[in-house]
Structure 1
Amino acid sequence: MGTVPAVVRVADLRLPGSRTARFEGRAHGSGVSYFFVDNDPGQGPGLHRHPYSETWVVLDGEATITLGDTTVVAHPGDCAVVPPGTWHRFVNSGAGALRMVCIHASEVMVQEDAAEGTAAR
């Protein structure tokens, strides 16, 4: 019989001062990482990129997503895929909360921010 995986509580993953949670897979025996985003209108990360793909799934609200030179609007049930190395960002462009899952195809998160031009983990 296999080992039963432990439940990871979202409250244990929340970023300080935020409703967004950060899950890095390596610490939990997973090959993927993710953010569970819970943003107010107007909130979202700055322009950045990763050396791996990222897949976004919108659960609630509206996200305006920039992928390179393309801007799209996504609604609940929509998903978007960001190819590796593509500069991207999103902002909550709706009237209520934006809830989405941002899945990183990596056991650790690696991010280069356009404003700083430096890689962060």
Structure 2
Amino acid sequence: MNSVKKERRNAADIWTYILRVLAIVGWGLFIFALIVAYYAAPETDYGLLRYHGIEIRKFWLTPLTGYLYIVLWLSALSSYFCLILDKYRSRRKSDGKHFNILLLLVITVAWVSFILVQISEANVG
């Protein structure tokens, strides 16, 4: 006997909307961080540039790197709050797992770690 359970939820509540907004803000900040990283990161050293004697920047731009840290940590914080809210709001097995938010958190923390390692290697060498 398969009993069909009636869905008792009428509509999404305010917490669901907050979760959606936090997820959108987190991904938006991540995309903005990609743009900032493009301008803050060292330029790639191609052989053609060396052949023509074109100068390239081999260091991170400090002011933009500071903004990049802030944006990345805000993105990670947004995804973390989203995961915490989701943990306390999801009560059913049919509720979504939100793996994209977990992926965003892991990627931003790994990216900050990578930047810290790159800058520390540049300062030593």
TM-score by length of 1: 0.21
Q: Which has the larger radius of gyration?
A: 2
Indicate the structure with greater helix content: 2
Structure with the higher strand share, 1 or 2: 1
Please, what TM-score do these two structures have when normalized by structure 2?
0.21
